[in-house]
Amino acid sequence: MTELTDQAPLTLAAEARAALGKRNLVLIGLMGAGKSAIGRMTAQALGIPFIDSDHEIERVSRMSITDLFAAYGEAEFRALETRVIKRLLRSGPRVVSTGGGAYINENTRKHIKRGGLSVWLKADLDVLWERVNKRDTRPLLKTENPRQTLENLMNARYPIYAQADLTVLSRDVKKETMVEEVLTAITAATKKA
């Protein structure tokens, strides 16, 4: 993270950290938006822990997300996801990366609003497709036309994601740039409040 070692971005990270206080920073968005990669780097810049809720779900269930979907279906998976995210948000501050469908669940959304500052990493279809079409690990994309499925998910979920506290455009730029934009959004939102 070369850019974050310069004096100005370090000041930005310190300002963002102060603005966050004890709240958690919760990243939401569709698969491929960069929640895990940007979340991990943002946590490092802020000097707080990073947790990927999908990894935590796999850890506690001792099953992969794909296997959970296959064995129990989406509704049961979402209930487990809500319980895990609620637990993760009990203490902080930390950066929490959520699965693409987490924020769609009303109960999960309430826990996120109560326990953190939500940031929607918003990406267009071409960016998302370029990032997700190389892997076969996305249960919701195991369809006849996965690109159309992804577009349908965007159309259904983007109006709900728009309820997030902050929105940062996820695009093909250096990850350090994205981290800087997340930190800027956090400090700007606090100055408005």
Give the distance between the most distant pair of CA atoms in the chain.
50
Residue type, 35: K
**Is 35 part of any known ligand binding site?**
yes
| Residue-wise DSSP of 63-128 | S-HHHHHHHHHHHHHHHHHHHHHHHHTTS-S-EEE--TTGGGSHHHHHHHHHHEEEEEEE--HHHH
**Helix and strand totals (H; E) in the chain:** 8, 5
**Is 39 part of any known ligand binding site?**
no
**Is 8 part of any known ligand binding site?**
no
**Is 37 part of any known ligand binding site?**
yes
Cα 162 from Cα 28, distance rounded (Å) = 10
**Is 78 part of any known ligand binding site?**
yes
**Is 116 part of any known ligand binding site?**
no
**Is 64 part of any known ligand binding site?**
no
**Is 147 part of any known ligand binding site?**
no
How many other β-carbons are positioned within 10 Å of the β-carbon of residue 172? 10
**Is 191 part of any known ligand binding site?**
no
Binding-site residues for ATP, please?
Answer: 32-37, 138
Binding-site residues for Mg(2+), please?
Answer: 36
Binding-site residues for substrate, please?
Answer: 54, 78, 100, 157
Binding-site residues, please?
Answer: 32-37, 54, 78, 100, 138, 157
